[in-house]
Chains A and B, each alone.
Chain A
């Protein structure tokens, strides 16, 4: 967790880039990407209805912004997705973090839950779609279950690992000072596990957001995934790509926000 944001590129390991160099390279990367995309689209290699040029996608985005597609304008689809994600993620965090902490503290719970958990977590969130649809239908419940499944595991694992990695001497020191189990949980295990938990929140938000499209395959109504499925149905590739861009942008924004939280946290307590 220490120097993850120091990106080392071609230079010898240890050379890090200045802010200016970093942005230059980032912009260069995007420019190259769009140039290749435009080039391939213009070459006529693929028919334009399968690979629209970036400009066409831009136009589509602008149009979707005003004109409802699949029942809603773009921002409404985005909001629907964000709301759905936040609910599913909040449930995963609310159940996963406490469960992980308890597993780190109570050996018995660890022994019971871990094997079960190890077996279930290899079933990809997308593989839950049929079951979610059968159990909770395609309204609010089904999609939530899929987002929950996507983000639950990293919540449990990060809290569990964080609690386990809290040094024994801290727990023992608290015990010798007369701390009860509850006080040890509140003043030793939770703050000790916090760096790991915050890292886990980032990972789980990322995975939860990625599961979103899967969840929206079974949604009737609104959402970026729904928009894309409808675009596919209408053979409208630029709508599909516009949806993908929205997913990327929002996912990136979520990650940036959580990184800021992580940094603020590290600044406060140092790397003790």
Chain B
């Protein structure tokens, strides 16, 4: 079997940044990771572990110093609409309405108007944005803005979705609502997803697999398959707060926390 259309593969990826005062910073050190077709992988780790850099390399917004990043078997050479990105700070264009923001990618590839309008309308209603089509982003709450950003990514029918702490800027209540909605959307419309977060709960709840990263240098500590857990439990049927209270879930959460903590402690104290 050949590479899936949207399989994302990191092959011995290393990324060094040169520092302004001279010298180099090793952000990512020899990472190998394979995200299967339609698999939802969450990457957790402390700030500075290179998780965002990893996502940016899959998006084609950054490039490895060594190694290769392949999407669907082809090396990534730049950004493209088949790999949609949801940014932490939403990155909606402030001078465009909700409708224009969601339709931006469709406009870029000159999708016929009727077809684009139908697709936009579909995601507007799916993301609960009806009635806000003509609002500008600054007129919406953070949660609503992120819905627009997610709709803007999904409407492209991308092979892969890359999300960089998409809920990081939201308050706790909104965050929970969005997590449930994302699960609903992901089950209904499965895609290859890389989801960056530093919230362990979120990673376990959303992902098929959780990749735990440590920093200085950024390396993968462990990769944990969540699917057996989800299959054993009745997560789909329960509200998120109850899922997060099941023994399986709390056990998994403390296991990941221990990994992160152990890694931070064995790290030499000097910078």
In the bound assembly, the distance between CA atoms of A167 and B61 in angstroms comes to 15
- Counting CB contacts under 8 A, is B80 at the interface? yes
The segment from B32-40, B90-98, B125-133, B260-268 that touches chain A is B90-98
- Residues in B with CB closer than 8 Å to A269 are 94-95, 136
Select B87's contact among A173, A179, A180, A188, beta carbons within 8 Å. A173
Say if the beta carbon of A67 comes within 8 Å of chain B. Answer: no
User: Which of these, A167, A177, A192, A194, contacts B81 with CB under 8 Å?
Assistant: A177
Among B59, B61, B92, B96, the one with the most A-chain Cβ atoms within 10 Å of its Cβ is: B61
Q: Which of A147-201 contact B (CB under 8 A)?
A: 167, 169-170, 172-180, 183, 187-188, 191-192, 194
Contact with A along B105-129 (1 / 0, CB 8 A): 1001100000000000000000000
With A169-B91, A173-B91 already in contact, the answer to whether A178 and B81 are too (CB < 8 A) is: yes
Q: How far is the CB of B87 from chain A (nearest CB, A)?
A: 6
Query: Do A178 and B91 have beta carbons less than 8 Å apart?
Result: no
**Residue B72 at the chain A interface, CB threshold 8 Å:** no
A170-B91, A191-B95, A269-B94 are contacts. A179–B108 as well, Cβ < 8 Å?
A: yes
Residues from chain A with Cβ under 8 Å of B184 in the complex: none
Q: Across the interface, do A176 and B80 meet the contact criterion of CB distance under 8 Å?
A: yes
Q: What sequence of 0s and 1s flags, for each residue 89-113 of chain A, a beta carbon within 8 Å of any chain B beta carbon? A: 0000000000000000000000000
Q: For this complex, into which size category does the number of interface residues on chain B fall?
A: 20 to 34
Determine if A169 and B137 form an interchain contact, defined as CB atoms under 8 angstroms apart.
no
Q: Are B108 and A177 in contact (CB under 8 A)?
A: yes
Chain B residues with CB below 8 A from A188, complex form:
93
Q: Does A272 contact B (CB under 8 A)?
A: yes
Q: Are A175 and B104 in contact (CB under 8 A)?
A: no
Contacts of A194 in B (CB 8 A): 95
Residue of B61, B92, B138 touching A175 (CB-CB under 8 A): B61
B99 CB-CB contact with A under 8 Å: no
Evaluate whether A176 and B94 lie within 8 angstroms (CB atoms) in the complex, with A269-B136, A270-B136, A272-B136 already known. no
Q: Is the CB–CB distance between B84 and A176 below 8 Å?
A: yes
Whether a CB of chain A sits under 8 angstroms from the CB of B156 is yes
Contact-size category for A: 20 to 34
Complex: A119 Cα to B95 Cα, angstroms: 36
Most chain B beta-carbon neighbours within 10 Å: one of A175, A177, A180: A177
In the bound complex, residues from chain A placing their C-beta under 8 Å from that of B152 are 177
Residue contact A187 to B93, C-beta cutoff 8 Å: yes
Give the complex CA separation of A10 and B80 in angstroms: 57
Per the bound structure, the CA–CA distance linking A192 and B92 in Å amounts to 12
- Flag if B156 contacts A177 (CB, 8 Å): yes
Are B137's CB and A272's CB within 8 A? yes
Q: How far is the CB of B210 from chain A (nearest CB, A)?
A: 24
Q: Is the CB of B105 within 8 A of A177?
A: yes
Instruction: Return the CB mask of B211-224 against A: 1 if under 8 Å, else 0.
Output: 00000000000000
Closest to A191 in B: B95
Contact pick for B94, options A172, A179, A272, CB 8 Å: A272
Instruction: Chain B residues near A272: list those with CB within 8 A.
Output: 94-95, 136-138
Q: Which of B60, B104, B136 has the most CB of A within 10 A?
A: B104
Determine whether the beta carbon of B79 is less than 8 Å from that of A176: yes
Contacts of A178 in B (CB 8 A): 79-81, 105, 108-109, 156
Looking across the interface, which residue of chain B has its beta carbon closest to that of A194?
B95
Expressed in whole angstroms, the Cα–Cα distance for A183 and B80 within the complex equals: 14
Residue among A169, A173, A176, A188 with the highest chain B CB neighbour number at 10 A: A176
**Given A177-B81, A178-B81, A187-B104, A169:B87 Cβ within 8 A:** yes
In angstroms, Cα B83 to Cα A170, docked, is 16
B65-100 contact mask (Cβ, 8 Å, vs A): 1 or 0 = 000000000000011110111010101111110000
| A172: nearest chain-B partner, CB-CB | B61
CB pair A180–B108 under 8 Å, yes or no, is: yes
Min C-beta distance of A184 to chain B, whole Å: 9
Among A173, A175, A271, point to the contact of B93 (Cβ < 8 A). Answer: A173
Write the nearest CB–CB distance from B205 to chain A, whole angstroms.
Answer: 26
Distance in Å: Cβ of A165 to nearest Cβ of chain B: 13
The residues of A that contact B59 with a CB separation of less than 8 Å are: 176
Chain B residue at smallest Cβ distance from A192:
B95
Partner of A191, one of B80, B81, B93, B156: B93
For A167, the chain B residues whose CB sits under 8 A away are: 91
Q: Are the C-beta atoms of A173 and B85 separated by less than 8 Å?
A: yes
Q: Which B residues are closer than 8 A to A by beta carbons?
A: 59-61, 78-81, 83-85, 87, 89, 91-96, 104-105, 108-109, 136-139, 152, 156
Interface contacts beyond A170-B91, A175-B61, A269-B94: sample of 4 additional A-B pairs, CB < 8 Å, sorted by A: A169-B87, A172-B85, A178-B109, A183-B108
Name 5 A/B residue pairs within 8 A (Cβ), A-sorted.
A173-B91, A175-B61, A176-B80, A187-B93, A269-B95
Report A's interface with B, CB cutoff 8 A: 167, 169-170, 172-180, 183, 187-188, 191-192, 194, 269-272
